[in-house]
């Protein structure tokens, strides 16, 4: 690639300490490239290296095939602009004066701004929706307003490459969205190359064309959001357990963290006497197995609650890639699965029944029911017939509102309730019912 920016096998050091190793990626004209990674992974250092604040020890940075390090300062400033993480300005300049500072690379020594420079500054402030702030002292602006002014200043340089370090940090959600929409507009309509360090993974997924995930100063993953934002990559890079799903409207990835407390707790054999009773209660629960008939995310919170209370939990039948399936795998819960978007087969149903036979309590969760998963209602009927087994029906929403079988599911669930199943209208009430058995 001769056009665009190319970071080629770059290593960088702070003194004798290597902080970046083997940085190798490119960004084309009109592309928004997001840099993500945990604290200390080298994100800001990477921007500082591209911005020539830190000189690479090995490798090269090229813009349209030309070595960036060989450009003189004026040429570099005409092609690269940066928006730092800290945009605090302590002097009471008017916002327009701050934006006009971006014209310095285009002015001669002691040359003043012309009408053309002011027109460019005005256009950039209109582009960033801050022209109405032109006469306001920058010290009186909110964080979001000041960030728009600083971006306008960078655009006034008329650069080819815009570097931003966490441009939305500490801003309200309205300014976060406004700034990210602006960056997307600048790439799509102004042809800028934008490289941005972004803290929020969901914002990065929503707006970036590609992502570079850093870990310990190296590129851990690179590519589209679907290639980079996987639960495995995030676990390995950040040490965090997450669920990654596709947004129903935008089809973009969104990342939901799983708190560490969700993991099954082991009881410390030398726990203090203050915790002894609680630990004894949890240990007692370990002899009781609760099976969840779930799917579509209806069982996820119960998996967490029941495991927190020390119960053994099993689940089924859920489709692979379903939220309930992902949570069960995170919690090491045995689960009967079916292929994505497939109806429950007889073989899977039989495996489900075997799981139910081993449970002390069966919970029919607040699932939507169609013909594809109607056998889950049949599984609840099987549980109701088994001697000594308690069946709990969760009905946050009436079954009639979740029935997509023309009434068959509602008729069968109502019959289950009439035959002695315990009905709860709040998911969290299931734990109290199980505790009382």
The residue segments making up the domain with residue 193 are: 5-257
Residues 93 and 47 in one domain: yes
Residues 40 and 15 in one domain: yes
Residue-by-residue pLDDT tens, the chain, 437 positions: 457 999 999 999 999 999 999 999 999 999 999 999 999 999 999 999 999 999 999 999 999 999 999 999 999 999 999 998 877 777 889 999 999 999 988 887 877 889 999 999 999 999 999 999 999 999 999 888 999 999 999 999 999 999 999 998 878 888 889 999 999 999 999 999 999 999 999 999 999 999 999 999 999 999 999 999 998 899 999 988 888 877 766 788 888 777 555 544 433 333 333 444 444 444 455 678 999 999 988 898 899 889 888 899 999 999 887 888 888 887 889 999 988 778 999 999 999 999 999 999 999 999 999 999 999 999 999 999 998 899 999 999 999 989 899 999 999 999 999 998 999 999 889 999 998 87
Residues 117 and 204 in one domain: yes
Q: Which residues contact 23 (CB under 8 A, 6 or more apart)?
A: 7, 9, 10, 11, 12, 46, 49, 59, 219
Q: Structurally, how many domains does the chain consist of? A: 2
Residues 94 and 158 in one domain: yes
Give the CA-trace dihedral at 130, 134, 140, 144, to 10 degrees. 10
Residues 276 and 127 in one domain: no
Residues 237 and 291 in one domain: no
Residues 195 and 302 in one domain: no
Q: What is the CATH number of the domain that holds 360?
A: 3.40.50
Provide the β-strand partners of residue 244: 255
Residues 43 and 83 in one domain: yes
Residues 226 and 305 in one domain: no
**Is residue 183 exposed (0-12), middle (13-18) or buried (19+ Cβ within 10 Å)?**
buried
Provide the β-strand partners of residue 210: 33
Dist CA 118 CA 285 (whole Å): 73
pTM of the model: 0.69
Dist CA 280 CA 300 (whole Å): 26
Dist CA 147 CA 153 (whole Å): 10
Last residue of a domain, which of 257, 276, 302? 257
Provide the β-strand partners of residue 255: 244
Last residue of a domain, which of 257, 289, 312? 257
Last residue of a domain, which of 229, 257, 285? 257
Q: What is the CATH number of the domain that holds 111?
A: 3.40.50.300
Residues 214 and 265 in one domain: no
Residues 245 and 267 in one domain: no
Residues 278 and 330 in one domain: yes
């Amino acid at each position: 690639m001769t056009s665009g920016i190319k970071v080629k096998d770059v290593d960088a050091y702070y003194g004798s300490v290597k902080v970046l190793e083997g940085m190798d990626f490119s960004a084309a004209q009109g592309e928004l490239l997001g840099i993500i990674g945990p604290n200390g992974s080298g994100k800001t250092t990477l921007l500082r290296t591209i911005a020539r604040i830190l000189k690479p020890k090995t490798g090269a940075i090229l813009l349209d095939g030309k070595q960036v390090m060989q450009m003189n300062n004026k040429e570099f400033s005409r092609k690269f602009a940066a928006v730092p993480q800290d945009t605090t300005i302590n002097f009471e300049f008017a916002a327009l004066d701050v934006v006009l500072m971006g014209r310095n690379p285009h002015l001669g020594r002691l040359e003043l701004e012309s009408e053309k420079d002011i027109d460019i500054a005005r256009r950039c402030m209109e582009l960033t929706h801050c022209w109405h702030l032109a006469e306001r002292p920058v010290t009186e602006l909110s964080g979001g307003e000041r960030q728009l002014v600083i971006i306008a200043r960078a655009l006034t340089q008329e650069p080819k490459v815009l570097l931003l370090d966490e441009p939305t940090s500490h801003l309200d959600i309205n300014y976060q969205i406004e700034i990210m929409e602006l960056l997307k507009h600048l790439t799509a309509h102004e042809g800028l190359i934008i490289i941005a360090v972004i803290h929020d993974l969901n914002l990065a997924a929503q707006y970036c064309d590609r992502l570079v995930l850093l870990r310990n100063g190296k590129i851990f993953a690179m590519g589209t959001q679907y290639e980079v934002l996987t639960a495995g990559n995030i676990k390995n890079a950040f040490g965090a357990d997450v669920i990654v799903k596709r947004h129903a409207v935008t089809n973009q990835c969104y990342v939901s963290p799983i708190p560490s407390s969700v993991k099954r707790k082991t009881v410390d054999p030398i726990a203090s006497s203050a915790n002894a009773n609680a630990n004894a209660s949890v240990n007692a629960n370990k002899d009781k197995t609760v099976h969840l008939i779930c799917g579509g995310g209806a069982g996820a919170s119960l998996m967490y609650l029941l495991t927190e209370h020390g119960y053994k939990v099993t689940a089924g039948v859920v489709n692979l890639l379903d939220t309930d399936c992902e949570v069960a795998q995170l919690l090491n819960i045995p689960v009967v699965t079916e292929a994505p978007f497939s109806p429950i087969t007889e073989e899977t149903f039989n495996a489900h029944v075997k799981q139910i036979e081993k449970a002390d309590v069966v919970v029919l969760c607040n699932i939507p029911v169609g013909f594809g998963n109607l056998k889950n209602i049949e599984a609840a009927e099987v549980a109701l017939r088994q001697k000594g087994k308690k069946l709990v029906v969760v009905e946050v929403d009436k079954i009639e509102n979740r029935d997509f079988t023309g009434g068959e599911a509602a008729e069968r669930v109502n019959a289950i309730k009439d035959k002695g199943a315990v009905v709860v209208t709040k998911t969290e009430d299931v734990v109290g019912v199980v505790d009382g058995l």
